[in-house]
Amino acid sequence: MLVLQKLREKFIDDFLRVYAIMPIRIRRRILVAFFYIVILAGLEVLSILSLSFLALSIAAPERLAEFSFIPRLFSLFPGLAVLCADPRQFALIASSAVVVLTLTKNAMSAFVGLVAARLGEAISLFAGETLFRHYLYSPYIDHLAGDSGAVFQALSWRGQLGGMVISIMMVYTYAVISLGLFLALVTATPE
């Protein structure tokens, strides 16, 4: 129980604390980034499943008829059933789908990286502006105190705040990917 509490403190509470002090425009950007991260996690799971499907289509194409989605796919697209009658053509189509899915996943990964970097910059900029505004509008006696060095130290660390939030979001991404892979494994092999 103590381990779960520590995990919650490290990975959820810190993120929620930072999220709570952000302005609404950055909160929206965080939610949009999470949406993209979930899409990326889904593409990651699909990419791994497609590689397994490709291996099965090459090694044992006759076993593919056991999957319920294959007959449904062929009923929706009858031309695909004709194309896939030859196992070599089916393997070619499956490998082409894997290539397209991998390219899509990598493009989405680059896009999510760009969105995350911009979000980290926005968080750092907000933190820096907030700290500096607080410092400028504080009483003059505070400027003479030894604590003013701590303000400049905090200003120099503001970039780390954005990086920390992005790192925590990536931990969430990997958790979603792991959960998706586990659910795919359980549903694909229920026994």
Query: Is a pLDDT exceeding 90 seen at residue 104?
Result: yes
Residue 46 has a pLDDT of 86
Residue 191 has a pLDDT of 61
Backbone angles phi, psi at 63, to 5 degrees: -75, -20
Residue 10 has a pLDDT of 74
Residue 141 has a pLDDT of 65
Task: Give the global pTM.
Answer: 0.76
Write the CA distances from 40 to 21, 33, 105, 183, 184, integer angstroms: 27, 10, 7, 16, 16
pLDDT tens for each residue of 19-63:
898 999 999 999 999 899 889 888 988 888 888 878 877 777 666
In the chain, the percentage of residues whose pLDDT exceeds 90 is 18
Place of tokens 């082409």: 96
Q: Which stretch, 91-95, 105-109, 169-173, 184-188, has highest mean pLDDT?
A: 105-109
